[in-house]
Every structure is written in structure tokens, then in C-alpha cells.
Structure 1
Amino acid sequence: MSKTQLYSSGLELANFVVTLDILHDAWTAIWSLYTEVSQNEGPSSSVRFKVYELPNYTIIAFFTWPSTSKDSVQGVGGGNLVSSSTFKGSFPCFDFLSPKTKDPSFSINEPAFQLFKSIFGVLPKFEMDNFKPLIITGNSLGGSVATLFTLSLLEKFNFSKNKGPFCITFGSPLIGDENLQEAISKYEAWNSRFLHVVSDQDPIPRVLINGYQPSGTFLFYSKLGCSCFEDHQTILELLTATNSGTPKDQDPNKVFESYGTFVKDLNRKVICKDTTDDESLIDWTTTPFRAGIITQLVAIGLVQSQQPQSADIIAKIERREKMVAILKEKAFDPTRGLNEKKVLMAYLEQYKKVSKDERVGYYDRYKNGNDRSDIKLVEYMRGLTCYWEEMVDQAEKRPQTVGASLRTRSLFGGTNYRRMIEPLDIADYYKAGKRDYINQGRSKHYIILEQLLKVKEAEKPSSGPNELKKQNVASSLTEDSCFWAHVEEALISCKLLSSGESNDIEKETNKLIEFENYVYGLMKNYAVSSEIFLPGSSFMTWWKEYRKIKGTFYRSRLTGLMNNEENYDKYAKGRLVIP
């Protein structure tokens, strides 16, 4: 990111945000709900909500009385945090947010959580495949409830098919601790769902600072203008710095109404005009980077030429924004690390080659675990799996067009990884005496990688095996990474039939016939590695057991190929003609 981009980003983002109709429509929904509630009841500590259907989107607004919200946040217990570990069993809608750390719990502001919990059962259930955008908004503690409601929806939204919910709060206090902030900020698709509007006259957003961390984008404004900030440390610094200058005895209703005034007068407050000409702040020696920081801070009413602390806050924000710029340059890239992982895959390829030379195949060599080099293999397996789990996890959460969750190069690497490593996971699974790997033991990231490949392959017409595919079958990986799970299940069926332990002979027999047809289909398309025919493979063990069960007179399409051992070599050379 260049310095020029950083210099202009906050004001440009604010300029973009305030010109959107949704900011005006969100506030209009809150004001309409306030008008309706005030006509029917007096101030209370409860939260009210209402759904508004607009032509282009749906808005759900949450409202809490300004005075009672202020008392609740500033009063005794207003800053208490409740740990997710305490409500995990009884209220599990936030479980998916738990970060994968030594301490997987996070904490939420207790008054906000109790308000949200009190109405959770009557909140509308929005269809996740609804392409009409959903705007969630609220004021003060109602904004906190809006934030929690938005968070509760994030797990179910498929960002590759729709934009997901968007939350706009006005004068909302901070909602949670550092662990919650990290969980939300880990995925840009989540963090970008939140916009918090903060007035320089509103003390409520600045009360819960100790032990709390902000997330999302903050739009600070004053009578001079407005600017957006996205880095959570910068936002916390600004909330802290402006806390002492915010009137504490402001009439909550007047502060509430001021947000409406701001929204109605957006265009005049977008850009800070005639406030950065003071030579004590900006002169010809000031870098564009620093000038950009100063311009934003002046716009939100924080920096003035006569304030002695101005230079200090400018320096603090400048240092932090420089650090953020560097981090953004190193942000998650789906292709970063692929070359590194190719080294580990090369080791796996060598392991596969040596196993083939020993006439056993790498699946069974690993399953038998007789080689000391398996220890190194396990280490490499873990490294590859951690990488691809993170890759898939990130791709799922980032907004993407359909079928573009992983770039082509990444998807190719992920497919090779899945076909190479999943068989080894299958070996561990059945070695532990378990059953039904496909339905009971398969990792989610394997499933997603396979689905993404199917979407990619659906874009081009299917065809039978070409000559190149036949020629390379000896060195190719089996296309179905769950092939060995099918083999293990077939071995179990054979064992049950041979021992007479099966309670349903017909069921086990039909499963074996299905397996026959499955293998035949793979062979016909040259989609299974020729290593399955090695003498020490589990597949050949199955074949021997199955032939005993069926007898020498049994005939099928697969047995017609398997009974002639010359076909094994022909298949490996791509010369076997399969009818």
C-alpha cells in the first residue's frame, strides 16, 4: 500500500459511506421505531425491534431509550463481561466464534447480552439464501443488540452467494473483549459487516474502554466533518483520547437527536474544509502520509493547533497506521506458501515411489507403520493439513463469486493434497478400529476441496479418459480420495460374511456388489491408480477374500478384468481396453 493511499483512505471511505442511502434509511428506521414506542409507552430498560421492508433491502431496527441506556452502561455493573464458557450449553448461538487458541472463550458486555437474550426467541428467522440485503441497525444499547444479532447470523451466511447482513449502529458502546475482537477480525468478510457511527458529543461509545476492544469500521464525526477508521488499536486510541473532551452531562435525548441531524446534513460534513490550513499542523515539509493522518484527526474534532497534546496523538496514530499498512501488504493470500508446501508434497511423492518399489503401495505401507521414516511423514502431513485447513477456512469466509473460492492454482494444489493425504487419514481411522469414515470421520476441508473441484469441472464438458491420462495412470493419484475408505468397508463386509457374524447377509452382499461397480467405473475411466494391483495392497487382499466368498464360477464386469492377472500390467501401461 502506498503512502498516498493511506493518506486519503479514511476521508475517502467516510465520503463513500455517508453518501449511501442505507445510512439515512437505517437512521430513519430507528427514528420511526422511537416515534412509535414513545407514543405508546414511557422510558423503559427493555429493547424494542421492528422489521421494515424497503424495495432494495430489509431493515431490522433495535431501539433502547437513550436515558436508560446511559444509566445501564454507566451504572454499577454496566461494564461487566460475561464469558462465552458460561452460556455455551444454554445459549450456543455464538459457539462458532470461539477462537482456536489455548483459551477458546470470549466475553460479551453483560447488559447487552441479557437484552439480546431476552428477545432472541421472538426475533425473525431470516432465510439465509435470500438475495435481498439485510440491514441491521440500532442506537446505544440497541446498537449492541444489533451487533449481537448480526454476529449470530454470520455462521449461516454463504458469502459466495449473497452479501450477508450489514450492521450500522449509532452511539453504541463497545461489545466485547480482545478474544471476541480477534474472532471477528480474523475474517474480513465478518469484520466488514459492521459500521459504528460515533458523535464527538456522545459519551456512551467511550465508557466501556477498559477490558474491551472494538471491531468493524468506526465513523467518527464532529461539527467539522467525519472520517472512518478500521484498525481496532487506532479506534481504541481515538476513543480514549476523546473521552476527556466529551461532555458527561449531556442530555441523552439531545445526543440521540444529534445523530439524526448528522445524517440529514451528510454532504456538508463529509470533507474537513478550511481546517488544515494552519501552518502549525501542516506545512510544506509534512509528508503526505502524516498530512493524511492530521486531516482525519482534525475532521473528527480531535486535533487543534493550540492543543499541546496534538503532536502526541498525531505521532501515535501515525505509528499505528504505518504498522497497519505493512500488515495489509502481508495479508492472507491464497497462493502464498504454495511453493513451500510443494517441498512437503515432493517428500510424499518420494515416499509413494519407494512404497511402490517395495510392492506394497504407500497407503498400506503407512497403514502397517513398519518404517521409521513414517515419523517424518506424519510431521509433513500435519504441516500440509494445517495449511490447507487454514486455506479452506479463509476461502469460505471471504466474499467470493460462485466457483471462485480458491484460485485455479490453489485449487490444483489442494486437489493434489487431498488425493495424497486423505488416504493416510483413512488408514489412521480404520487402524483405530472405526467404521464409516465417509459419514462419520471425514474432515470438512476435504469435503469443501472436493466440492470446489466439482464446480470447476462442471464448467467444462465431461469426456472419457484421454490418451495422456492412460499413459500417466501408473504415476497418477486415485481421483476419489475416499477410495481406500470404500476398500476398508468392503473388507469389513467380507469378514462379516466369511465369519457368519453378519445379521443381514443380503445387505452386506449388496454392498460388495456396489463396491464392484464402483471399482469398475474408476478403472474404465482410468481414475484409479495402478498401485491398487500391487501384491501387498489392501485392495488385493479384498479381491482374494471376495473371490473365496463368490467362488470360481461367479462372473461380473469386474471379475472379468481381475481374473486375468495380465490385465494389471496392461492397465498400468494404459493399454487395457475396458468394455
Structure 2
Amino acid sequence: MSQKMFNSEVEVGKFLGSITVVQDAYGAISQTSSTYQLHTSPSGIKVLAFNCFSDYTLRFRNGEDLVSSDKHKVVDFVSTNVNPKLSINKVVVELFELPFKELSELSNQVYLYFSRFKTQDQIPLVVTGCDLGGYLAILNTLLHQHYTDFEESNGSKIVKRPICITFGLPLISNQHLQGAISELPQWKSSFLNVVAKPDLLISFFSSTSQYMSFDTFLFCAKSGGHTAFEDQDMILAFLDGMVSSNA
């Protein structure tokens, strides 16, 4: 999202909060009873929604720490020459490792499905998840981006890339994930995290830790207002404010 199109973060937030695709993504999550499910929204958008196992959420809240990606090869596809190693929360790495083969096959199948369409005829794909389910959505989106890059390097026609919309996703990695995604312009600006004060996990690991955000955050107020930030310092400041009972 280009900030030049708007005069302030509030205007960006108002726009993002009004678009149908955000509502479609949230609705798909509420209709997903298994680990993942592919939906067709009322507006015709394909939405791949993910859920999370409750015991992983409990472990996350108990404070599992960061682990290096070189010990967890399932996230190799995110690494770059400048950022060869990442540090990611142990719980969410294991959450992704558990069904990795299944998710890898799923991402490849979804890629092949959408690559059948001509670019102008493609149905938009949104990948979504709530809380730690948002982590599965992010990794699956990155895996899809990886497949797209590989196919394009072999001469395939460019296909539309998915966008990832998460809800209440806590910070899960250090600055190297942010750096890796920033290195790849075709991956950047594909991620939106929608958060509100009642979200149970969003305020874990804020500016007092090594954790960093890498996507656009849409903050939703109880009054119905919205504001959106890409600036990492502002995102961390807002997350710190949400911890306060007076926020």
C-alpha cells in the first residue's frame, strides 16, 4: 500500500478497514473447522483459511523463545543471501513443521490451480488465519511466493500472487525475517495484520524483546476507527500501548 495515495495513517486505516476482502477473510476463518479449508467468498474471492491447535497457543503464552532457522530446515525457502538465518519462535516453527509435507503439497496444488488462468482472468487468492493460525497463513503464503519465483525463473508467465491477511497475530520473529522479506519486492506489501485490544496474543513480545514485525498493521479501535502503520517503531509503540489498561 503506497502511503502517497493517502494523507495520513488514519486515512490508510479507514480504507483498509472498509474493503470487502478483510471481511471475507475473517468470515472464512469462522467457517473453518479443520486445520485449513479453501473457501469461495460471497464476492467470488478464493480464501484459504488456517486454524491453530490450542495446545500450541498455551505453549506460546507460557513464553517459548526464539530458535535459529538453521535447525529447522522447513523454513529454508524464506532465507536469502543477505539473511541466510532467521530466528523464529519455537512454538510457531514446530506448528509449521507438524503438517509441513501436507502444507507444502497444498501450496503447490493451489499454485498450480491459479497458474492455469491467464493473469487478467485469475481469481484473487487470499490466505488468512487468526492468532497462531496466522503464522500458518504467512508461511504458506511465503511458500506460494517461493513456488512462483521458481516457475518465473524457468520462463513461466507471471501469475497473480496471493495476499495474506491475519488477525491478532503476535510478533513471531526477529529482524532477519523482516529483512528477508524486504529484500524481495515481489513478496513485500503482501501482508496485513488486523489487530484490536481484545486480541489475546497480540501484545506478547513487543518492543522490550528481540521480536520485530514485518508487515502492515491495521489497528482497530472499539469506537470503530482504524489506523494503519508500516513503520516498525510506530507498530511497536502501539503494541506497547495496548498492554496498558488505560490504552
- TM-score in same-fold range (> 0.5): yes
The answer to whether the 8 A contact 2:72-2:93 is kept is: no
Corresponding position of 1:156: 147
Corresponding position of 2:15: 16
The answer to whether the 8 A contact 1:140-1:171 is kept is: yes
Alignment of 1:83-482 (within 5 A): 83-88=68-73, 91=74, 94-101=75-82, 104-123=84-103, 124=106, 125-128=109-112, 129-130=115-116, 131-157=122-148, 161-209=158-206, 210-224=209-223, 225-245=225-245, 302=247
- Note closer, same or farther for the CA distance 1:10–1:188 as it changes in structure 2 (3 Å cut): farther
Q: Aligned letter for 1:202?
A: D
Corresponding position of 1:57: 45
Segments of structure 1 that go 5 or more residues without pairing to the other structure are: 38-47, 247-301, 303-579
Which portions of structure 1, spanning 4 or more consecutive aligned residues, are displaced by more than 6 angstroms?
none
The answer to whether the 8 A contact 1:98-1:106 is kept is: yes
Give the distance between the partners of 1:99 and 1:135, measured in 2 at CA: 25
The answer to whether the 8 A contact 1:150-1:165 is kept is: yes
Segments of structure 2 that go 5 or more residues without pairing to the other structure are: 117-121
- Tell me how far 1:171 sits from its aligned partner: 0.8
Instruction: Give the match's secondary structure for 2:187.
Output: helix
The answer to whether the 8 A contact 1:178-1:213 is kept is: yes
- Tell me how far 1:86 sits from its aligned partner: 1.2
- Tell me how far 1:70 sits from its aligned partner: 4.5
Give the distance between the partners of 2:10 and 2:192, measured in 1 at CA: 15
The answer to whether the 8 A contact 2:194-2:218 is kept is: yes
Give the distance between the partners of 2:125 and 2:6, measured in 1 at CA: 32
How many residue pairs get aligned? The number is: 224
Give the distance between the partners of 2:100 and 2:45, measured in 1 at CA: 22
Give the distance between the partners of 2:76 and 2:57, measured in 1 at CA: 29
Greater percentage in strand: 2
Give the distance between the partners of 1:162 and 1:56, measured in 2 at CA: 18
The answer to whether the 8 A contact 1:69-1:140 is kept is: no
Give the distance between the partners of 1:5 and 1:25, measured in 2 at CA: 26
Give the distance between the partners of 2:129 and 2:77, measured in 1 at CA: 24
The answer to whether the 8 A contact 1:198-1:218 is kept is: yes
Give the distance between the partners of 1:240 and 1:189, measured in 2 at CA: 30
Give the distance between the partners of 1:115 and 1:104, measured in 2 at CA: 21
- Tell me how far 1:208 sits from its aligned partner: 2.2
Instruction: Give the match's secondary structure for 2:148.
Output: coil
The answer to whether the 8 A contact 1:99-1:179 is kept is: no
- Tell me how far 1:62 sits from its aligned partner: 0.8
- Tell me how far 1:6 sits from its aligned partner: 9.1
Give the distance between the partners of 1:199 and 1:116, measured in 2 at CA: 25
Flag the structure with larger Rg: 1
TM-score normalized by the length of structure 2: 0.80
- Tell me how far 1:229 sits from its aligned partner: 0.5
TM-score normalized by the length of structure 1: 0.36
Greater percentage in helix: 1
**Residue among 61, 70, 75 paired with 1:74:** 61
